[in-house]
Amino acid sequence: MFVKGVGMTKFGFQEESSRNTIYESVMEALNDAKMSMREIDAVVVSSIEIMSNGERQKHSASMISSLLQIKAPILDVPAGCAGGGTALWTAIKLLKNSSHKNILVIGFDKIVATTTKIITEEILRGGERIYEQAEGMIFPAQNALVAQQYMLKYGATSDDFALVAYKNHQNAFLNPKARFYRKKITMEEIKNSTVVASPLRLFDCSISCNGASSLILSKEPSDIEIIGSAEISDCLSPFEREEMTSLEATKKAAELAYKEADVTPSQIDIAEIHDAFTPLEIISYEDLGFCSPGEGKELIRNGTTKIDGKLPVNTSGGLKAKGHPISPTGIAQVYEIVKQMRGQAGARQIKTPRIGLAHNLGGAGSVATVHILKNLN
């Protein structure tokens, strides 16, 4: 399957309606593909319950039909933070097994438009509600415990997590679509930020924001091909799993995607990794096969994953500094890789990559998608 066009809004605190952000990202994708809506055969969309954004609008499939003036199958695939990646995986399966030629994939959410209490409740629905959250085990606390276990087992430090945050903020500074574009964040600010759940500080946590992203998937050859695609679900709670310092869903999804793509981790030239919390980026280095267990900290220490390193990771700024509007995230990761492959990444452009990987997570690592892209130019 081929990527014909990509589009996304700036991620931030803008107050535009969901309709406006969807329209903006879709029009960019259509213009990028040099296509019109008449050429779209189906749509796959993902969002969380958008009643939380103040618009109180349900039935997003029909809302998109009205907005884009399209009469076609529109599938709504909610999957929390993994919504974008899951929507893309679904679209690939649909395209392979139907007569459709072109499918539009959309992720959108407007979560910074209501009270903290309401949106926190909405996000927490992606975790285990009955036992863990009743005892205060919400996402930052879960990830803090994972980080503590990783530190004890492998000797990582809070400074390693700070290096991830600093790297991604430096990248976001160069990305006009990022929440932290042209916003300089120092290492001192990161290390001295408020403790959220020890060892995690404020700058170890991704920032919620609003936005939309779109992608046009096609059977017609283009310059970018998706050569590997996988989605794996795991237990809802991380404490049901045999290993806390690794995500089995990521490992299995990566294994399947690498096999389909017929590539190895050493062939990846660029990766967009789900860094909702900074320790997750380091753990994902290992789960994706870029290094052995326990060695992820060395990649961030020695600069391997910096924008000028051997394996640039999160050149967009990642969820940490580009922003994490939930459902658009997975498609925005692919947007970044496509822009890098086409030499259109501006000030953050790396040496043109041939093979790229996008890794999207949902819940506490309970859903993982991995997509591998190939530059055919």
- In tens, the pLDDT along 264-320 reads 999 999 999 999 999 999 999 999 999 999 999 999 999 999 999 999 999 999 999
CA gap 56, 327 in Å, rounded: 17
Say which of 100, 169, 274, 324 is annotated catalytic. 324
pLDDT category, 50, cuts 50, 70, 90? low
pLDDT category, 80, cuts 50, 70, 90? confident
DSSP track, 307-367: TTSSS-B-TT-HHHHT-B-STTHHHHHHHHHHHHHTT--GGG--S--SEEEEEEEETTTTE
Count CA within 13 A, CB hemisphere, residue 26. 24
Determine phi and psi for 5, rounding to 5 degrees: -155, 155
> Using omega within 30 degrees of 0 as the cis cutoff, is the peptide bond preceding 176 cis?
no
Neighbours of 155 (CB within 10 A): 10
Task: Copy the structure tokens of residue 134.
Answer: 């009743």
**Contact of 212 with 107, CB cutoff 8 Å:** yes
- Which of the pair, 8 or 56, is modelled with greater confidence? 8
State the DSSP code for 10.
P
Which CATH superfamily hosts domain 1-377? Answer: Thiolase/Chalcone synthase (3.40.47.10)
Task: Check whether 51 has a pLDDT greater than 60.
Answer: no
pLDDT tens-digit series, residues 201-220? 999 999 889 999 999 999 99
Exposed (0-12), middle (13-18) or buried (19+): which is 221, by Cβ within 10 Å? exposed
Task: Check whether 49 has a pLDDT greater than 70.
Answer: no
CA gap 195, 205 in Å, rounded: 10
pLDDT tens-digit series, residues 227-278? 999 999 998 777 788 888 999 999 999 999 999 999 999 999 999 999 999 9
Q: Which long-range CB contacts under 8 A does 22-27 form with residues at least 24 apart?
A: 22/64, 22/67, 22/106, 22/108, 22/212, 22/214, 23/67, 23/68, 24/212, 25/106, 25/108, 25/211, 25/212, 25/213, 25/214, 25/328, 26/68, 26/104, 26/106, 26/214
Given this model, what pLDDT does residue 52 score? 52
pLDDT category, 334, cuts 50, 70, 90? very high
State the DSSP code for 266.
G
Task: Check whether 53 has a pLDDT greater than 70.
Answer: no
Residue keyed to tokens 């276990």:
149
pLDDT over 70 percentage in the chain: 95
Any catalytic annotation for residue 81? yes
Averaged pLDDT, 8-32: 94
pLDDT tens-digit series, residues 127-182? 777 777 767 777 888 899 999 999 999 999 999 999 999 999 999 999 999 999 99
Task: Check whether 115 has a pLDDT greater than 70.
Answer: no
> Where are the chain's structural domains?
1-377
pLDDT category, 76, cuts 50, 70, 90? very high
Residue keyed to tokens 């922003």:
323
Averaged pLDDT, 41-67: 81
Task: Check whether 114 has a pLDDT greater than 70.
Answer: no
CA gap 342, 333 in Å, rounded: 15
Task: Check whether 124 has a pLDDT greater than 90.
Answer: no
Given this model, what pLDDT does residue 150 score? 97
Given this model, what pLDDT does residue 266 score? 98
Say which of 81, 209, 274, 359 is annotated catalytic. 81
3-state DSSP call for residue 201? strand
